[in-house]
């Protein structure tokens, strides 16, 4: 059965061109970039070339790009590194309720370490209010971190406008751009951010590598101490093949951005149109227009998300959900709760995120089958707003 | 997906006894929308205390649907006394196992049946 992969927000397959770039660095050009000999030079050269590719992808200087093991590490470093470095100046951090757990759980950790964190609410579309940011700033605020685009509901935050407010007060501003890079234009000069997190495996690069953009002059301590790699700021022998792959993936992502955005937007809009017109009692989560071009997130009343995913998987489609059952916790997604959905409704969520390989046939197939899947699950469900007696009667003569 | 056994997947794809029993005389419901799990069990119990028929309606994940479906199959034809002894581990065994984090679905199914039996008993008591 042909698989239709619609969970690109979770991870992406490595692009063939990226894979080819990486291969020599496993067995031929395998040297440790810090060493003195020939194999080392080749590796070092490749790391610096990738650094430049990443820098160019976001409008930064190569010296401002630091490689990490992924988006989570970048988020951790940005928060902890700035918090610990600046704690004499202040102990207040501002973030939002819909950040990725890499930000939220790090904030919770920092709270235990004596920092004060304000978690800004979002509106029903997932937008952070610039006014709320303004009001939340205190004399002892040392850091603001707001994600560029949300991974679950796709809402794109007004980062440039928020940066204006934050920078006017001279406070360090970080944004988690893990979902934004490759899907919308990302330019650090234009946005005026001090730090920005990136991840390779979301843009058809390999897993296990990411980067943190740190503007020149931002006071930050390392997370990982050891050898002097990454200009003494992030120790550990460089993941050369990973870094090379990431660099290539970033270069391709930016080169192909316009075409990619147009392609995904077309598919996403067809999916949203199909689902919302052919299936009753469904809502679209996130902002209708200020959203990632490839993200669709729905809530279907009266049914639960994991059973939808299971049904889709059986017909070859991969998606994700914000239900408690899929996250393994007791609560549904914190993002869906933050936009004001009741828990019961949040459990019935489905996130489908398109990618480079998605076709319109795929979308049509998914919509057609979703109609049947939702109908079947609804027939099984005891809840229905219309009336307490549902018309599915068990025929005990069968 | 979710490492479900073949039996669970089969049950999920082809659940037995789905729907409402129009002449049910014992109905039990457990769970809530907020929990992400609701199971409603319909029982038709004869005058001499035998479960003639059983059906279910479930809002929940694959394991929840499979568990409630399987539970209705297991108690059909049993006496109330036998059905009251249904343990969640019995349901899990019939399903060939459930992932650790899904065991509670089988517990809910057993509880829904207990609730339906209790409903039948209180209706009977009220009539007496």
pLDDT at A394 > cutoff 50: no
Domains of chain A from N-terminus onward: 16-255 (3.40.640.10), 257-380 (3.90.1150.10)
pLDDT in tens, A243-275: 999 999 999 999 999 999 999 999 999 999 999
Q: Could you tell me the pLDDT band of residue A330, with boundaries at 50, 70 and 90?
A: confident
pLDDT of residue A393: 27
pLDDT of residue A386: 65
Q: Tell me if the domain spanning B6-121 has CATH number 3.90.1010.10.
A: yes
Cα(A205)–Cα(A114) distance, integer angstroms: 37
pLDDT of residue A39: 84
Q: Do B59 and A324 touch (CB under 8 A)?
A: no
Q: Average pLDDT over chain B, rounded to whole?
A: 94
Strand bridging mode A141-145 / A349-353: unpaired
Instruction: Identify all chain A residues contacting B37, using CB atoms and an 8 Å cutoff.
Output: 304
Give me A165's structure tokens: 């407010």
Candidate list B63, B105, B108, B115, residue with the active-site label? B105
Q: Are A82 and A219 in contact (CB under 8 A)?
A: yes
pLDDT of residue A392: 29
Closest approach of chain A CAs to the CA of B61, in angstroms? 5
Q: What percent of chain B has pLDDT over 90?
A: 89
pLDDT of residue A325: 81
Q: Is B61 a catalytic residue?
A: no
pTM greater than the 0.90 cutoff: yes
Per-domain residue ranges of chain B: 6-121
Cα(A180)–Cα(A147) distance, integer angstroms: 9
The half-sphere exposure of A20 on its side-chain side, counting CA atoms within 13 A, is: 3
Closest approach of chain A CAs to the CA of B101, in angstroms? 7
Q: Of A285, A290, A257, nearest to A272 (Cα)? A: A285
| Residues ≥6 apart with Cβ < 8 Å to A200 | A70, A206, A207, A208, A209, A210, A242, A245, A246, A249, A250
Q: Could you tell me the pLDDT band of residue A387, with boundaries at 50, 70 and 90?
A: very low
pLDDT of residue A1: 81
A379 in contact with B, Cβ within 8 Å: yes
pLDDT of residue A87: 96
Cα(A294)–Cα(A203) distance, integer angstroms: 13
- The residue among A327 and A158 whose pLDDT is bigger is A158
State phi, psi for A262 to the nearest 5 degrees. -65, -45
pLDDT at B117 > cutoff 80: yes
State phi, psi for B30 to the nearest 5 degrees. -130, 160
Candidate list A261, A325, A343, A371, residue with the active-site label? A325
Cα(B59)–Cα(B47) distance, integer angstroms: 31
Region A175-180 average pLDDT? 98
pLDDT in tens, A292-317: 999 999 999 999 999 999 999 999 99
Closest approach of chain B CAs to the CA of A354, in angstroms? 20
pLDDT at A398 > cutoff 60: no
Instruction: Identify all chain B residues contacting A344, using CB atoms and an 8 Å cutoff.
Output: 32-34, 36
State phi, psi for A103 to the nearest 5 degrees. -85, -50
Q: Do B101 and A328 touch (CB under 8 A)?
A: yes
Q: Could you tell me the pLDDT band of residue A388, with boundaries at 50, 70 and 90?
A: very low
Q: Do B60 and A309 touch (CB under 8 A)?
A: no
pLDDT of residue A395: 27
Q: Residue by residue, what is the 3-state secondary structure of B83-108?
A: HHCCCHHHHHHHCCCCCHHHHHHHHH
pLDDT of residue B2: 61
A307 in contact with B, Cβ within 8 Å: yes
A360 in contact with B, Cβ within 8 Å: no
Q: What percent of chain A has pLDDT over 90?
A: 91
Q: What percent of chain A has pLDDT over 70?
A: 97
Find residues 85-124 of chain B whose CB sits inside 8 Å of chain A: 101
Instruction: Identify all chain B residues contacting A387, using CB atoms and an 8 Å cutoff.
Output: none
| CA torsion angle A126 A98 A196 A232 (round to 10) | 180
Q: Do A379 and B37 touch (CB under 8 A)?
A: no
Q: Do A379 and B1 touch (CB under 8 A)?
A: no
pLDDT in tens, B20-70: 999 999 999 999 888 889 999 999 999 999 999 999 999 999 999 999 999
Strand bridging mode A210-214 / A195-199: antiparallel
pLDDT at A117 > cutoff 90: yes
pLDDT of residue A257: 98
pLDDT in tens, A17-59: 999 999 999 999 999 999 989 889 999 999 999 999 999 999 9
- Min mean pLDDT across A33-37, A168-172, A227-231, A326-330 is at A326-330
pLDDT of residue A188: 98
Region B85-94 average pLDDT? 96
pLDDT of residue B32: 83
| CA torsion angle A226 A40 A56 A162 (round to 10) | -10
Find residues 23-82 of chain B whose CB sits inside 8 Å of chain A: 29, 32-40, 42, 44, 53, 55, 57-65
Instruction: Identify all chain B residues contacting A393, using CB atoms and an 8 Å cutoff.
Output: 19-20, 22
Q: Do B60 and A394 touch (CB under 8 A)?
A: no
Region A357-365 average pLDDT? 98
Q: Which chain A residue has the Cα nearest residue B10?
A: A314
B127 in contact with A, Cβ within 8 Å: no
């Amino acid at each position: 059965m042909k698989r239709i992969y619609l969970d690109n927000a979770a991870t992406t397959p490595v692009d063939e061109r990226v894979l080819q770039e990486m291969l020599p660095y496993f067995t031929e050009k395998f040297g440790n970039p810090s060493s003195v000999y020939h194999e080392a030079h080749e590796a070092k050269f490749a790391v610096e070339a990738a650094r430049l590719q990443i820098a160019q992808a976001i409008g930064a200087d190569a010296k401002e790009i630091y490689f990490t093991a992924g988006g989570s590490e970048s988020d951790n470093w940005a928060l902890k590194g700035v918090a610990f470095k600046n704690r004499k100046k202040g102990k207040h951090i501002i973030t939002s309720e819909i950040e990725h757990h890499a930000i939220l759980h790090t904030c919770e950790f920092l709270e235990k370490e004596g920092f004060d964190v304000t978690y800004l609410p979002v509106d029903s579309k997932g937008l952070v209010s610039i006014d709320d940011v303004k009001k939340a700033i205190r004399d002892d605020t040392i850091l603001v971190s707001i994600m560029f685009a949300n991974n679950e509901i796709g809402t794109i935050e007004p980062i440039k406008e928020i940066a204006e407010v934050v920078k006017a007060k001279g406070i360090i501003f970080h944004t988690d751009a893990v979902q934004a890079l490759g899907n919308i234009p990302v330019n650090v000069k234009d946005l005026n951010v001090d730090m920005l997190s990136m991840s390779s495996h979301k843009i058809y690069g390999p897993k296990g590598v990411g980067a943190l953009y740190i503007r020149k002059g931002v006071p930050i301590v390392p997370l990982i101490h050891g050898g002097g790699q990454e200009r003494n700021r992030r120790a550990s022998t460089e993941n050369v093949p990973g870094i090379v792959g990431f660099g290539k993936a970033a270069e391709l992502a930016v080169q192909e951005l316009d075409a990619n955005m147009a392609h995904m937007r077309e598919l996403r809009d067809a999916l949203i149109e199909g689902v919302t017109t052919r299936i009753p009692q469904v809502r679209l989560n996130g902002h209708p227009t200020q959203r990632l071009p490839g993200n669709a997130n729905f809530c279907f009343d009266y049914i639960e998300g994991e059973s939808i995913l299971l049904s889709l998987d059986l017909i070859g489609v991969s998606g994700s959900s914000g239900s408690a059952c899929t996250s393994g916790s007791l609560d549904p997604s914190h993002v869906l709760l933050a936009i004001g959905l009741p828990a019961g409704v949040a459990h019935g969520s489905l996130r489908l995120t398109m990618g480079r390989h998605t076709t319109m046939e795929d979308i049509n197939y998914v919509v057609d089958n979703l109609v049947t899947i939702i109908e079947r699950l609804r027939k099984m469900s005891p809840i229905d707003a219309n009336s307490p007696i549902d018309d599915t009667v068990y025929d005990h003569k069968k | 997906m979710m490492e479900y056994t073949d039996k669970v997947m089969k049950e999920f794809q082809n659940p037995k006894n789905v729907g409402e029993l129009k002449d049910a005389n014992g109905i039990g419901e457990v769970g809530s929308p907020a929990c992400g799990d609701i199971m409603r069990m319909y029982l038709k119990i004869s005058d001499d205390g035998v479960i003639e028929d059983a059906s279910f309606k479930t809002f929940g994940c694959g394991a929840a649907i499979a568990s409630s479906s399987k539970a209705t199959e297991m108690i059909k034809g049993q006496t109330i006394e036998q059905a009251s002894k249904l343990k969640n581990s019995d349901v899990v065994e019939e399903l060939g196992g459930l992932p650790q984090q899904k065991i509670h679905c089988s517990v809910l199914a057993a509880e829904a049946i207990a609730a339906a039996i209790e409903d039948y008993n209180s209706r009977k008591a009220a009539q007496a």
